[in-house]
């Protein structure tokens, strides 16, 4: 198994989503089946989604770091200089695109490995391997192939990459054309060459599949007192802005919340997927998801059995300016679901995973390890309110168990959430929340 270890930023990691739809069927060998040709569709759609979401911001941020005087100079530029700037921007776009495409490719390879790992050892792996082979799914995708062998009538890889605006090779980047211009343009060229060298180094690091993280010792003076003597908690402190982008405005977290809150980029994605009129956040904790739900939903019902966590959630929601859209309820969700007359559009389940030790298991059994009860019982309670359910689960959850929650003859969508090249969690969707593949539907009709 090839696994990539790298990060671009612990405080602001890149977010990749790989998602596919499964159908739960009654079979003696395994309980799910895959939609055909998922590899190509998942990879391309995930890249397009990522680049449309973050690409322009990435280009702009790096551009202005390289050329801080660009805005002042472009207004006074001659036609010749304007042409040069345009060419420089186009090359810059190719460089950044190539850099993040390579990182994305590593994340996708990890996704394939993680997907197979999630199949679990308690089902007939030989049948699963046979099924995967029939669908042309390999643990290692070749570096020069984005299409399956059975789709011979489709465009070749080079043409597909060109159509998507992606680089067709990953050798050393093209060198800048040197020109004898005014000093501000010469400086721009120098900056661009430095950026190219840096990108070459980054690509080489990804190509070799290992990029070493530079460990920075945190400033203990600004760390909460209960975290100072706990080396494990220092790792969470470094990532605080990936948990809450407005952390330094006074966000409050207790010890348990540090390793249970959903990273903000994932919470934003989940809120976008679950946008509706009324949503129930069954285990709101310190409010990471509830805050983002308030950005996309008209009304949020945030429930938690821990009164202290509810107070933190209220406080944190106030920082984000959305507390007025959230109704905080101190209750046990199981009792709430059994007694309420509320009929929300969506229920979101993110129950406790039993602490960070879940990471040490090769596979996480969602029927025996979730708290307070197993996944099936939680789904039964949630379905008393609605059939439309989002379920946030550990990254090492057993896929057959996740799919089985849909019920025989029903579908679910499983979304693998990556920060840089590291899988951090799985989100599954049930009911009308499933995003159907229009292309597949057209081909079936």
Question: Sorting pLDDT into bands at 50, 70 and 90, what band is 10?
Answer: low
Q: Which residue has the higher pLDDT, 242 or 312?
A: 312
Q: What is the pLDDT of residues 243-255, one digit of tens each?
A: 999 999 999 999 8
Q: Give how far Cα 1 sits from Cα of 51, 109, 110, 208, 420, Å.
A: 28, 10, 9, 15, 19
Identify the CATH number of the domain defined by range 233-443. Answer: 3.40.50.150
3-state SS, 44-58, equals: HHHHHHHHHHHHHHH
More confident residue, 62 or 25: 62
Average pLDDT, the chain: 75
CA distances from 49 to 17, 106, 111 (A): 8, 17, 16
279 DSSP β-pair partners:
300, 346
- Indicate the pLDDT class of residue 280, thresholds 50, 70 and 90: very high
Max mean pLDDT among 168-177, 186-195, 341-350 falls in 341-350
Identify the band that residue 272 occupies on the pLDDT scale cut at 50, 70 and 90.
Answer: very high
Residues 185-200 pLDDT 10s: 444 444 444 444 444 4
Residue located via tokens 């057993």 = 398
C-alpha span between 432 and 68 (Å, rounded): 47
This prediction's pTM: 0.71
Please give the residue that has the higher pLDDT: either 361 or 405: 405
Q: What per-residue confidence (pLDDT) applies to 91?
A: 92
Give pLDDT, residue 195: 44
For residues 379 and 390, the answer to whether their CB atoms sit within 8 Å is no
Among 27-31, 35-39, 310-314, 394-398, which stretch is predicted with the lowest mean pLDDT? Answer: 35-39
- Per DSSP (E only), the strands in 245-298 are 278-281
User: What are the tens digits of pLDDT across the range 77-119?
Assistant: 888 888 888 899 999 999 998 888 888 888 888 888 887 777 6
Specify the pLDDT at position 45.
86
Domain ranges in the chain? 35-207, 233-443
Instruction: Quote the CA–CA distance of 209 and 194 in Å, as a whole number.
Output: 23
Per-residue confidence (pLDDT) for residue 360, from 0 to 100: 74
Does residue 380 surpass a pLDDT of 90?
Answer: yes
Distances (CA, A) of 230 to 155, 222, 227, 257: 54, 14, 5, 15
**Mean pLDDT highest for which of 153-157, 170-174, 277-281?**
277-281
Range 387-416 average pLDDT: 91
Quick one: pLDDT at residue 359?
A: 74
115-119, 138-142, 167-171: least confident range? 138-142
């Amino acid at each position: 198994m090839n696994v990539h270890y790298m990060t671009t930023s612990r405080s602001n990691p890149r977010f990749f989503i790989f998602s596919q739809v499964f159908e739960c069927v009654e079979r003696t060998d395994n309980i799910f089946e895959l939609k055909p040709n998922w590899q190509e569709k998942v990879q391309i759609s995930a890249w397009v989604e990522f680049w449309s979401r973050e690409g322009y911001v990435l280009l702009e941020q790096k551009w202005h770091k390289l050329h801080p005087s660009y805005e002042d100079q472009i207004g006074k530029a001659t036609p010749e200089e304007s042409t040069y700037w345009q060419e420089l921007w186009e090359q810059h776009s190719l460089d950044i695109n190539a850099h993040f495409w390579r990182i994305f490719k590593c994340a996708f390879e990890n996704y394939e490995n993680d997907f197979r790992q999630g199949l679990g050892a308690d089902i007939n792996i030989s049948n699963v391997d046979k099924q995967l082979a029939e669908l042309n799914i390999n643990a290692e995708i070749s570096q020069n192939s984005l299409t399956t062998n059975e789709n011979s009538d489709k465009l070749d890889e080079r043409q597909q990459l060109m159509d998507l605006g992606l680089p067709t090779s990953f050798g050393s980047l093209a060198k800048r054309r040197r020109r004898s211009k005014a000093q501000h343009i010469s400086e721009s060229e120098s900056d661009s060459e430095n950026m190219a060298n840096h990108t070459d180094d980054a690509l080489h690091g990804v190509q070799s599949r290992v990029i070493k993280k530079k460990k920075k010792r945190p400033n203990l003076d600004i760390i909460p007192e209960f975290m100072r003597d706990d080396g494990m908690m220092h790792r969470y402190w470094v990532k605080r802005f990936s948990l809450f982008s407005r952390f330094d405005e006074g966000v409050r977290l207790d010890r348990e919340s540090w390793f249970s809150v959903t990273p903000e980029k994932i919470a934003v994605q989940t809120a976008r997927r679950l946008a509706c009129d009324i949503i129930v956040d069954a285990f709101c904790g310190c409010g990471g998801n509830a805050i983002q739900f308030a950005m996309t939903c008209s009304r949020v019902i945030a429930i938690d059995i821990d009164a202290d966590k509810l107070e933190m959630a209220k406080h944190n929601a106030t920082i984000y300016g959305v507390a007025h859209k959230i109704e905080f309820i101190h209750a046990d969700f199981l009792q709430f679901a059994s007694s309420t007359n509320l009929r929300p559009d969506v229920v979101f389940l993110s129950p406790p995973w039993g602490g960070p030790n879940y990471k040490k298991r090769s596979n996480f059994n969602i029927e025996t390890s979730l708290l307070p009860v197993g996944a099936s019982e939680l789904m039964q309670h949630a379905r008393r309110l609605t059939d439309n359910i989002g379920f946030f689960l550990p990254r090492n959850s057993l896929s057959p168990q996740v799919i089985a929650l849909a019920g025989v003859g029903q579908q679910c969508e499983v979304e693998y959430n990556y920060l840089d090249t590291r899988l951090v969690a799985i989100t599954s969707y049930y009911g009308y929340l499933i995003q159907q593949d229009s292309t597949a539907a057209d081909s079936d009709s």
